[in-house]
A and B are shown apart, each in its own frame.
Chain A
């Protein structure tokens, strides 16, 4: 158990639908990152939050959005789903943004949420 909890583990839905993926970071970690792993695109960074604020955006579609709540858990919302959105979505957390304490600032990944769009 990495300490990063993602729910649900598996999700099957239809095109056009909307889903929410949830992530609870490791205790004490302030930064949350979302990654997508698909056969076509490989592993790619989507978005980062630090202590409730968006810090960085990657290749995240406009149909996707995320937020981090005061208790530091994060949700990734995927809407108007398409077949190509089928993927494994990872959440990772780290102690703080930046690498000032790089010895402790390791990204720890959750087990992922597997989304299948039919």
Chain B
């Protein structure tokens, strides 16, 4: 079974600084997708960024980027120029591809605090 591990229960960062959230996963699949979701106090799950395993290039979305290390099964999220609105719980998630797509396996989450 696939597992996703987030080893940092809590992280903090100063406004305008950079922070990296860690995630490792375990799978025997070759076709899979990795995601970072943000859950602010409103509890809404918001997709931050997505990475297809077959793509070697790391995904980037504005201030958010990932470091995808396929051999090491590592998928970290870097938030640059942190803003107060980035404060939230962040979940790393895995989905196999094909007909299994969408059955997300989530990590335990990392609470990110942003200090002004």
For the complex, give the distance between the alpha carbons of A99 and B33 in Å: 9
Q: Please give the number of chain A residues whose Cβ is less than 8 angstroms from any Cβ of chain B in the complex.
A: 28
Q: Which A residues from 77 to 118 make CB contacts under 8 A with B?
A: 88, 90, 92, 94, 97-99, 102, 105-109, 111-112, 114
Q: Which residues of B contact A92 (CB under 8 A)?
A: 45, 102
Q: Does A64 contact B (CB under 8 A)?
A: no
Q: Which residues of B contact A2 (CB under 8 A)?
A: 44
What string of 1s and 0s marks CB contacts (under 8 Å) between B70-88 and chain A?
A: 0000000000000000000
In the complex formed, the residue of A with least CB distance to B93 is A43
In the complex formed, the residue of B with least CB distance to A105 is B101
For the complex, give the distance between the alpha carbons of A99 and B104 in Å: 13
Q: Does B63 contact A (CB under 8 A)?
A: no
Q: Does A74 contact B (CB under 8 A)?
A: no
The answer to whether A97 touches B108 (Cβ under 8 A) is no
User: Which of B37, B43, B98, B106 lies in contact with A99, CB distance below 8 A?
Assistant: B98
The answer to whether B103 touches A107 (Cβ under 8 A) is no
- Tally of A-B residue pairs with Cβ under 8 A? 66
Q: Does B91 contact A (CB under 8 A)?
A: yes
Given A99-B98, A106-B50, check contact A90 B103 (CB 8 Å).
Answer: no
The answer to whether A56 touches B97 (Cβ under 8 A) is no
The answer to whether A107 touches B99 (Cβ under 8 A) is no
In the complex formed, the residue of B with least CB distance to A99 is B101
For the complex, give the distance between the alpha carbons of A71 and B109 in Å: 34
Q: Closest approach, in angstroms, between the C-beta of B49 and any C-beta of chain A?
A: 11
Given A55-B99, A99-B33, A102-B52, check contact A45 B104 (CB 8 Å).
Answer: yes
